Amino acid sequence: MAAPIICGRPGLFVLLAAALLTPAHAGALRYPPTERGDTVETMFGEEVADPYRWLEQDLRTDKAVGAWVDAENRLTASYLDTLQGRPAIEARLRQLWNYERFGVPRKRGSHYFYMHNSGLQSQSVLFVRDGLSGKARALIDPNSWPQDAAMAIDQWVPSQDGALLAYSVQYRGSDWRTLHIVDVVTGKLLDDQIDWVKFSGIAWDGDGGGFFYSRFPEPPAGAAYQQVNLGHQVWHHAIGTSQSADRLVYATPDRPELNHGAVTTEDGRYLLIISSQGTDERYQLTLFDLSRPESKPRRLVRGFANEWALIGSIGSKLLLRTDYLAPNGRVVMIDVAGGIGKPLEIIPQNRKVLAGASLVGGRLILAYVGDATTEAELHELDGRLVTPINLPDIGTGAGFGGRIGDPETFFSFSSYAIPPTIYRLNTSTGKVDIFARPKLAFDPGDYRVEQLFYSSKDGTRIPIFIARKKSTPPGAPALLYGYGGFNVAQTPGFSPAVLQWMEMGGVYAVASLRGGGEYGMAWHDAGRLANKQNVFDDFITAGEFLISSGISAKGRLAAMGRSNGGLLVGAVVNQRPDLFAAVNPAVGVMDMLRFTHFTAGRYWVDDYGDPARADDFRILRGYSPYHNIRDHEDYPAIMVTTADTDDRVVPAHSFKYAAALQSADIGSRPHLLRVDSRAGHSGGRSTDQLIEDYADLWAFFGHWTGLTVPVAP
């Protein structure tokens, strides 16, 4: 989230600080003047004012918007400079971030590929080993790229034999990607380059001669970061050719709103096109037999009713994970020889949610989410349980990829006070070894992670993770995080920033709200569309629980959420401005009446509804953060954060919301906007940016919750 305009604050903003504010404790801010327009639309009989519509223009091309953002950033930077303890917070964050980090390895042929960061490297480096004990060598090092370009590796996929590797580059945090190919043995970058890739996987041919990917048509000049995304297509790229020679494989010009992803089976025989029409895991599957180029594609699954994910194949038998006739998920097999056979159940659903499955060494590894934490099991192909895969504690396991003929797989485990440790598992013997464990500048034993439960407004039992130092007393400052949407489960994971918040004496709490994926389809449905208010109620009662239980105290509670979680925080603050001392709605969807007008917003109607429909409009109008700010209420301190290259939730959402906050009569506490440059919605941020981001946030939250921050180093 950190912008260079903020990083340079010591010398640049001394005079500005004196001009725009008195010390932080006085709370007297003079916000930049913001023009108030007269735009009013009549929607389903209601007049809806949108006075800051002009802030929807792209700040790169609209001088007025750019100047307004610069002024907001200068004010925020000047204010943050008045907060005692921020330099010490940043210094300690840098110490905690300085530890060796490994990603989960992937094996192809005799090569082992993994990401690695020595500690404070700007971006992690992709390494390869020739054999498990071979010497590691850097294959792709984004730190050698021009740093002012703000480029990062996004995804990377080796060919089936490991000879080549395709990877995507993320530029300034945008969702747009550029694909490149590197020769693994020589380390030479090939001339191939593929542009305008978005929402795409990389699916290699069986012989490594090319791969399948997804893209949109090239947008008009100046429209890349705001234009609605339509016309997704699957293409095939042959190695050694230009993008202009790529072959169109699949498209639906009669239904431009559909998205299409491509996956191939390990043996290279089948290509599966996975089509979707929104964010719901409801897919239509189209099968190509690549061993018979003359054959026509066949519809494997019709309609958009259920989730289907390819696990692997054995000859003509496809193994899939699905919620078809199983809301919590199950494993089925479909034989595609001749006609399309009916799904045969291999592993039935149970009370836990099946979150992932892989085929490794002739056995199945299943990952479940049970009470918002990971559980893993090893099964035979006929469904019989071989053994549970024991994970160390409350936390999250990830990885478990591999090959059907090779029993070797890797996975990671992490929790709020445990950085990712990488494990190697032999599925034939069940033996687990440690592949990489970081050396730490803290003792995980000093911290406690527990899962508690509380009752929401309607009596629903909601899980909440509480992480803190064992020595933290009752009534401590607490930071409540939530998301609550799009079937995404919130499970424990490690962040040096969260660790520092706890180290300073704060409580970190994560509520597993309805709308997420913690308990399957019914849990998701209970927090979306007409049920969205349940998410807000769950979050509000989580805050009340932290106070009533004595974990925190009135006036010592902060809240934070990103993206859909930014919407959550904005909506909850309007409904209960008295509950929190300070909040951070980050990259949030704040104008619920216009989100479909930009980039990927049209997909979100699955969770939010469509503001162009009367019934949905009335629900959205009722909680839209931008439209429901309440004058004459005492609001908490608010720092709205976004990024200039966010082309998923465009920054106009945050611009308009911040402008509305600053013009409202909502008390004397600060209501600030912080806009990163060279950053996007998620991913790609440098280590320095992340440290700057959290130093600002923790200083802001610490000041308003009464957290005792360290003295300057």
Say if residues 605 and 636 touch (Cβ distance below 8 Å): no
Tell me the pairing of strands 637-643 and 582-586: parallel
Cα(298)–Cα(318) distance, rounded to whole angstroms? Answer: 14
Whole-angstrom Cα distance, residue 81 to residue 6?
A: 10
Question: CB of 469 within 8 A of CB of 670?
Answer: no
Give SS3 for 503. helix
Q: Which residues pair with 409 in a beta bridge?
A: 425
Q: At what angle do helices 63-81 and 652-663 cross, to 10 degrees?
A: 60
Residues 179, 166: Cα–Cα separation, whole Å: 7
Instruction: Give the DSSP letter string of 102-130.
Output: EPPPEEETTEEEEEEE-SS-SS-EEEEEE
Residue whose token pair is 């300073």: 504
Determine contact, residues 591/624, Cβ cutoff 8 Å: yes
State yes or no: is 358 an active-site residue: no
DSSP state of 29: B
Rg (CA), the chain: 25
Which of 56-80 are b and which e, b meaning 16 or more Cβ less than 10 Å from the residue's Cβ?
bbbbeeeeebeebbebbbbbbbbbb
- CA distances for 391 relative to 128, 396, 411, 413, angstroms: 27, 9, 10, 7
Respond yes or no: is residue 237 known to be catalytic: no
- For 660, the enclosing helix (H) or strand (E) is helix 652-663
Nearest-angstrom CA–CA distance, 86 and 83: 6
CA distance 182 to 201: 17
Residue indicated by tokens 């706890």 = 502
> By three-state DSSP, how is residue 48 classified?
strand
Class of residue 112 by CB neighbours under 10 A (exposed 0-12, middle 13-18, buried 19+): buried
Q: Which of 387, 368, 370 has its CA nearest to residue 378?
A: 387
DSSP code of residue 499: H
Question: Which distant-in-sequence residues (6+ apart) come within 8 Å of 128 by Cβ?
Answer: 111, 112, 113, 136, 137, 139, 184
Of the residues 237, 653, 681, 703, only one is catalytic, namely 681
Question: Considering 174, 358, 563, 677, which one is annotated as catalytic?
Answer: 563
- The residues annotated with a catalytic role in the active site are 563, 681
